[in-house]
Amino acid sequence: MMLPALLLLLAAAPGPGAPPPLSLQAALGEASARGPAVLEARARQELARGEVAVARALDPFVLSVGGGGNDPRWSAGVSQRLVVSGARGSRVAASEADAQAAALQQRQALAEARSSARKAYFALLRARQLTEVARRSLSLALQSEQAARLRFETGAAPELDLVQASLARASVQTEVVTREGEQLALSAELAQLLGRAPELPLTPSASPVPALPPLETVLARAGQSPGLLATRASLAGEEARLEAARQERWPAINLGVGAEGDGPGGRMVAARATLDFEFPLFGFNQGAISRARAAIELARTLEQNAARGRSAQVLAAHRRLEAALRALALYPEEILPDAERVERMALEAYGAGHSTLTTLNDARRAAADIRTQAIEAEFNAQTAFAELELAAGGALDEN
């Protein structure tokens, strides 16, 4: 199921001084390394790691000093808050689950960056190919106009043929300008996804459509996709927060030790110890517990929806790719050469006076439509493969 060679050559070769062609693998690598969404996900992962360090840290020591004209003349001491109910361990577990979810979301961001870059890459390639089709049509329209002018000047055709040929040429010129502008816009969009300067034009190179992977393989990959695993890690984090909220109904202890100085000059020193208890007397932490339970229900719903939706996304994307590949196979290598031959024959027949201008224009439009359909078939297949990779949660064309 190879793309016709002529279709692969529709993209224009770069001119002197133009940047070298950008390969698909290079584009995917740049998107994975420097894509804006990937950089944001990495920053969020680092933030989640910092939250783990915060959760593991003990409350700071409290140092207190005092003095005055009455006894005690001076005092000094330290105190430490101790959570003995296990709430701290649950908070650490929750933050670690959040860090795991952030790491998985970073992997999911990589998959999304690859999918977006692949779509943008082939959108730009399609725009270049359609621009070449329009330029080819313009070349033929100029030849048609020249032939109509020659026939009009020799009296073999009415002036109406020349006017119609000129209008057809002007219409195709407008299409070429529009196609070129769209190509520049899509180049800027791809550059943004790759972390490049958008003002520098990119030149994609043609790449064959990957083969259709077995549905069972893709479903198995999707069952362990980072996006789905991230929802499960988030659920584990919410469950740990609920456990922490329950344990925080028990009192926390503030343990302190110190010394006081009484008498003249504060020379009579005595040691002192304190033991304070913090009770969640009002509500017994029911507000935090209720919130944690609601967060668990939300996380569980998101996890269930992700699991069900993932299978549906894989099946839909797999069917789209299968249909796109079948459509692409309907363009064997003889179709594009035949379209070119029909164009040439129609132009020669009109120039020799054997056919009308309407016949020539119909032949040109039919050939342009065939080339456009072949380009669209390739683009649809590449887009469907990008959707399938995204549903699977990772690359499907790498060993």
pLDDT in tens, 60-110: 888 999 888 787 888 889 998 887 668 888 999 999 999 999 999 999 999
C-alpha to C-alpha distances, 179 to 56, 244, 340, 385, nearest whole angstrom: 58, 60, 21, 25
Give how many domains the chain has, as a whole number. 1
For the chain, the average pLDDT equals 86
Domain contains 225: yes
> Cis peptide before 72, with omega less than 30 degrees from 0?
yes
Domain contains 264: yes
Q: What is the DSSP letter of 281?
A: T
For residues 224 and 140, the model is more confident at: 224
- Reference 114, options 12, 17, 210; nearest CA is 210
Domain contains 20: no
Q: pTM (2 decimals)?
A: 0.78
Domain contains 114: yes
Predicted local distance difference test score (pLDDT) of residue 123: 96
- Give the mean model confidence (pLDDT) for residues 342-346: 80
Domain CATH number, residue 245: 1.20.1600.10
Predicted local distance difference test score (pLDDT) of residue 125: 95
Percent of the residues in the chain that have a pLDDT greater than 90, as a whole number: 47
The model's pLDDT over 228-263, given as tens digits with 9 standing for 90+, comes to 999 999 999 999 999 988 888 888 888 999 999 887
Domain contains 246: yes
Q: Are 27 and 204 in contact (CB under 8 A)?
A: yes
For residues 16 and 267, the model is more confident at: 267
Predicted local distance difference test score (pLDDT) of residue 321: 93
For residues 17 and 172, the model is more confident at: 172
Predicted local distance difference test score (pLDDT) of residue 3: 40
For residues 20 and 320, the model is more confident at: 320
The model's pLDDT over 1-58, given as tens digits with 9 standing for 90+, comes to 334 334 334 444 444 455 689 999 999 999 999 999 999 999 999 999 999 999 888 8
- Give the mean model confidence (pLDDT) for residues 276-293: 84
Domain contains 388: yes
- Reference 229, options 310, 295, 293, 114; nearest CA is 310
Predicted local distance difference test score (pLDDT) of residue 152: 86
- The whole-angstrom separation of Cα 275 and Cα 79 is 9
Domain contains 387: yes
Domain membership of residue 134 as a residue range: 34-392
Predicted local distance difference test score (pLDDT) of residue 333: 66
Domain contains 13: no
* Tokens describing residue 362: 């119909």
